[in-house]
Homo-oligomer: A and B are copies of this chain.
Amino acid sequence: MAGHSPEPLGIPEREDSADRRKTPAGAGPHALDRWLANKFMEAIGSPPLSLTLWDGERVYSPRDPVAGLCVHDRGALWRLVPHPDLAIGDLYSLGRITVEGDLLTALETVYRSMSELDRHNRMLRTVQRVILSTAPSLSRARANIHHHYDLGNDFYELWLDRDALQYTCAYYPASEMTLEQAQRAKMDHVCRKVWLQPGESVVEAGCGWGGFALHMARHYGVTVRAFNISREQIVYARAWAAREGLSDRVEFVEDDFRNITGRYDAFLSIGMLEHVGRGNYSHLGRVIDRCLKPDGRGLIHSIGRDRPWPLNAWIRKRIFPGAYPPTLREMTQIFEPSGFSVLDAENLRLHYAATLREWLDRYEQRVDTVRGMFDERFVRAWRLYLAGSIAGFTRGSLQLFQVLFARSGVNAIPRSRAHVYEDGEAEVLGESA
C-alpha cells in the first residue's frame, strides 16, 4: 500500500550541491554564513524570531522574540535562501531545522511577517497568477489525489473523527463540542443549507471515505451517488456502506467529477474544489448545469483566499500536489457563466483552525503509531503541515467558504436562513420559476 512506503512525501535526505556542505563536527559559521542567515530572515519579512546556528551562535536576535529557529548545519542554511517556502518544510521534516519554543507560535509569526511582505510585492503576485492558471488533466488529477489520500486509511483513522472520517473543516456552533459532534454539526449544517428533502437524490463530487454520503442517506432519507478518484477511499466507502446496510441507497463511483452522469436534486462538493484547478472552474459549472434538476440546489465547500495567492510551495510539493485555494471572485467562475445564482456564502475560517487543533492533538497522541507506519521525516512533515494550517486559518491567510447556489430564477427556496439555525420545517418564499 502506497501509504506504508518509508517516504511517501518524497522528501530527500540530500537534494542538491548545497547539501554537500553539511557541516563537519566542530566547523563554526563563517562571516558569509552570518550574512546569509540575516538575508534569510529578511526574505521572510524579519519576524520576531531568533535564529541560532549549528555552533550555538545566535546570529539574529530581534527585540522580544516569541520563539526561535535553529539551523543545525551549513547545507541547511544555504538551501533556505533561494526557496525559503519549500526549504523550511523539507529541512524541518529532516530535523535540520528545529524550533525553540512553540511550533505553532513560530509558524503564526512567520505567516504574519510574510503576509506583510506580500502586500508590497505585486509583481511577484502577477507572475505567480500566470503560473497558476492551469487545469490538471484527468490523469494528473488522479496522481495528485493518490499522493495524498492513498496514504493508508488506517493512518487517517488515527486522528480524524471516529464517526464519519471527515477530512474537511468541522463546524463548532458551541465551544464545548467534541470533534465527532462538530463534524456531525458540519454535515447537518450543509444538509440544512441545501434544504434536503426525503426522497431526493444527491450527487456528491469528491466523497472521501464516504462518511457524509452515508450520513445523508441515514438521516435525510435521500439517495446518494458519490464520486471520488481515490481507489483506496472508494473501496473503504463501499465496505462501510455494506456494513451499514446502505448499499442500496448510496452508490460509490470511482471516477472524476467531469464524468458525472444523471440528474439530481442536489449537488454537493465538500473539500474537492481545492484540487480541481482554476482552469477547470467553468468546466465544473457546466458539469453542475448538466446534472442538476431545474429546481435543484448546490453547495460547494472549499478552502479559499481573500486575495489570489498560491498555496505554500512546500505544501504544494510535498503534501497537496496541484492544490489551489481560490478567492470568492475566482469561485464565481463556476456559477456565473453557467447561469447559477449565489444564494448564500459563509466563511468558516476559524472553524477550520479549531478542527485542525483537534487533529494535531490526536496526531500527537498517536505519534508512536505513526512512527510504526512511516519514518521520522514523515512524522515531522505531517506535524508541520497540520500546525502550519492552523497558523494559516488563524492568521487569515486561508479561508473556508461554503457557497450555496441554485439556477437563476429558481423561487422554490426557503424564506430565510432561519431554518438552518432552528429545528423545524423551512417555509418556502416563492413559487418555482
Contacts and interface: CB of A to CB of B under 8 A. Distances in A.
B173 A399 contact: no
A5 interface: no
Contacts of A399: 341
A394 interface: yes
Contacts of A353: 430
Interface residues of A, number: 51
Nearest to A189: B416
A328 B342 contact: yes
A410 B395 CA distance: 8
A417 B410 contact: no
A332 interface: yes
A174 to B, nearest CB: 8
A371 interface: no
Interface string A359-402: 00000000000000000000000000000000000111101000
Contact of A327 (B332, B339, B395, B418): B332
Which of A172, A413, A418 is the most central at the interface, judged by chain B CB atoms within 10 Å of its CB? A418
Interface string A282-319: 00000000000000000000000011000000000000
B341 A342 contact: no
A433 interface: yes
A408 interface: yes
A429 B353 CA distance: 11
A411 B411 CA distance: 35
A326 to B, nearest CB: 11
A289 to B, nearest CB: 12
A67 to B, nearest CB: 18
B429 A306 contact: no
A420 B420 CA distance: 11
A416 B173 contact: yes
A409 interface: yes
A427 interface: yes
B415 A173 contact: yes
A329 interface: yes
Nearest to A185: B416
Nearest to A349: B341
A346 interface: yes
Nearest to A329: B332
Given A341-B396, A345-B345, A173 B421 contact: no
Nearest to A427: B175
Contact of A418 (B306, B421, B429): B421
A350 interface: yes
A416 B416 CA distance: 16
Contacts of A158: none
Contacts of A328: 328, 332, 342, 345
Interface in A166-215: 171-175
B411 A394 contact: yes
A188 B429 CA distance: 20
Contact of A344 (B307, B343, B347, B422): B347
Contacts of A343: 346-347
Nearest to A411: B350
A57 B136 CA distance: 61
A336 interface: yes
A204 B409 CA distance: 31
19 contacts: A173-B415, A174-B415, A175-B415, A306-B335, A306-B336, A306-B340, A306-B341, A327-B332, A327-B336, A328-B345, A329-B329, A329-B332, A341-B349, A341-B396, A350-B429, A351-B429, A395-B433, A420-B421, A421-B422
Given A306-B340, A342-B345, 8 more contacts: A306-B335, A341-B349, A341-B399, A344-B345, A350-B429, A396-B408, A418-B421, A420-B421
